[in-house]
Homo-oligomer: A and B are copies of this chain.
C-alpha cells in the first residue's frame, strides 16, 4: 500500500521537538513504571500486536498500549451499561469506578518510561529501517502523538473530568426537563474551568515554534490533523456559499406542495425491528455489537467486537426520528467494526481517525445515502406494511423523501435539515472558542446564543432548553468536538465523489435495500486502514485532493436546487 506521509508543518514541529522537553519529569529513574510482563494469550500469538519485533523498546510499548487499550475497552463497556442496564442506585459508585479507570489508564500512559521507550524505538527505527514496515512506523508515530497529548496532564484532573462528564449526562437530562438554567449554569462553569485546566496542560510545550491555544489543544483530541485557522477558512467559504443558495432553496420549496405529516402511532417493537433490519442492510454485524435504547442522549462506541449503538427511546409518533438516529449511529458502527483490530487489536494504529472522519462515516449513511430518493422507494412500501398503514398517503416514497429533505430555519440542531445544519455547528464553534478564550462567560451564554442564531438564521430559540442547553456535548466536557459534524459532512461529500465512480449502481442498490457493496468500499478505503495514514493524507489518498467544502456545496445544490 502506498502511504502518503504528508505531515503538515505543524505536526513536523510537534513530532521533532525532543521528548525530554515535552515531559518534564522524564528520565528520573526512581519514577519508572514497573512494567507488565507480556502475557500472550494463545489464540492471539500470531497477531501483529504480539508479533516479535527486534526493537525491545517497541515490544514493550506494544504491551503498554495494549493495556491502555484494554482500559479503554472496559470503560466503553461500563459506559454502555451506564446508559442501558445499570440500576439507578449505582450512579454514584459507578462515577467513582469510571474516574478511577481513567486515572489508572492515564498513569500508565503518561509515564516517563513510555517516553524513554519511544526514544529508544525511534533510534532503532532510524538505524534498522528494514525492520519497520508501514504499519509499525505508523503505530510508533501514533504512540508518540498519544503520549505527547496526555503526558503533562495531572492524573487528578483526568479522574475529576471523567466523573464530571458522566455526571453531566445526568445533569443535562435533568435540566432539559425544566429548562433549568440555574442548575445548568454553575455546572457548565465548573466543567469549563476544569476543562480549561486540562487544556492548558495539553498545550504543546514547543516554544521554538508556534504555541497552541487551549481550544486548539482540546480540538486535537477530537479532530487530529486540523488547525483552527484551516477550519475558519473552510467554514467561511461554506457560509458565504450557503448564504447565497439557502434563500433559493427556501423559495423553491415554498413553491412546492408541503409534505403530509406522519400519522402515528408507530409502536416501539416495530420501530426497533425496522431499525435493526436496516442496520443489517448496511452490513452491521450483530454478533459483534448491538442497538440499544436509552433515556439519555444517543452515543456510539465500543470496540470492533462489542460495538454499541445507543439511541434515544423511540418516539411513537414518528418512526423517522429513531430511524435517522439508527442510520447515523449505524455509519459510526460500520467504522468501529471495520477497524483493523483483528490483527492490531488495542494498538494505536488500529484506532479510528478521530471524530471528523467518524462523523463522515455516520453522515455518509444517514445523509448522503440515506436521504437519496431511491432509498425511500425501497423503504416506503415496506413500512406501509410493517406499520399496517396500507395506502396512507403520508407513507409514499415521495412524501417520506420530502419530509426528510424539507429545509427550514429552526433553533434545533438535532432535527435540522441537511442545509441549515451547518449554521448550528458554526455557531457552536464560534461560541466555544469564545468560552475558552475568555471573551464569553457562561452567564452571558444565553444572550450570545440568541444573538448568534438570529444573525445566522434569523430565528430565536423559545427558551434556553431550545437554545444553549439543547446539546449534551458541553455537559460531558466535549469542547472542540462540534466542528467534527460539518467537517465530517464535507469529508463524506468529497469521498462520495469517488465512491459513486467506483460503485456505479448506487441508486439501484439503494432501491434494493442493499448497502453491503458500500460498506465494503468504505471498509477498504477508510475503516480497515485505521491510523496508517494521518487524517489529511487519507483524504488525499482517497480523492487525490485535500479537503475542501466544494463537494458538499455541490451536493447540496444538486439535491436541493436541481432535485438530482
Contacts and interface: CB of A to CB of B under 8 A. Distances in A.
Contacts of A305: 87, 89-90, 92-94
Interface string A29-52: 011011011010101100000000
Contact of A31 (B34, B85, B286): B34
A288 B89 CA distance: 5
Nearest to A345: B93
A283 interface: no
Interface stretch (A95-103, A137-145, A313-321): A95-103
Interface in A142-190: 155-156, 159-160, 163
Copies of this chain, complex-wide, total 2
Nearest to A111: B34
A374 interface: no
A287 interface: yes
A494 interface: no
A288 B93 CA distance: 11
Interface stretch (A74-82, A117-125, A529-537): A74-82
A70 interface: yes
B290 A95 contact: no
Count class of interface residues, chain A: 35 or more
A289 B87 contact: yes
Contacts of A30: 30
A160 B39 contact: yes
A303 interface: yes
Interface in A222-259: none
A290 B87 contact: yes
A39 B97 CA distance: 12
Contact of A89 (B37, B96, B285): B285
| Majority secondary structure, A binding face | helix
Interface in A17-38: 30-31, 33-34, 36-37
Contact of A90 (B33, B86, B159, B288): B288
B89 A287 contact: yes
A74 B104 CA distance: 13
A329 interface: no
A73 interface: yes
A432 interface: no
Given A89-B285, A288-B89, A95 B41 contact: yes
Contact of A100 (B37, B70, B87): B70
A366 interface: no
A290 B87 CA distance: 7
A88 interface: yes
Contacts of A290: 85, 87
A41 B87 contact: no
Nearest to A341: B93
A88 B39 contact: no
B156 A86 contact: no
A303 B91 CA distance: 12
Nearest to A289: B87
B306 A90 contact: yes
A96 B81 contact: no
Contact of A87 (B67, B93, B306): B306
Interface in A106-143: 107
Given A39-B159, A39-B160, A70 B97 contact: yes
A31 B87 CA distance: 40
B93 A73 contact: yes
Contacts of A78: 74, 77
Given A77-B78, A93-B305, A93-B345, A85 B87 contact: no
Nearest to A91: B305
B285 A39 contact: no
Contacts of A159: 39
A90 B303 CA distance: 9
Contacts of A84: 85
Contact of A101 (B43, B74, B285): B74
5 contacts: A30-B30, A74-B74, A81-B85, A88-B287, A93-B305
Nearest 9 CB-CB pairings of A with B = A89-B288, A90-B306, A90-B305, A89-B287, A70-B100, A93-B305, A89-B305, A70-B97, A88-B287
Given A77-B78, A89-B289, 10 more contacts: A34-B107, A37-B155, A39-B103, A39-B160, A73-B97, A74-B74, A85-B290, A89-B288, A90-B306, A93-B305
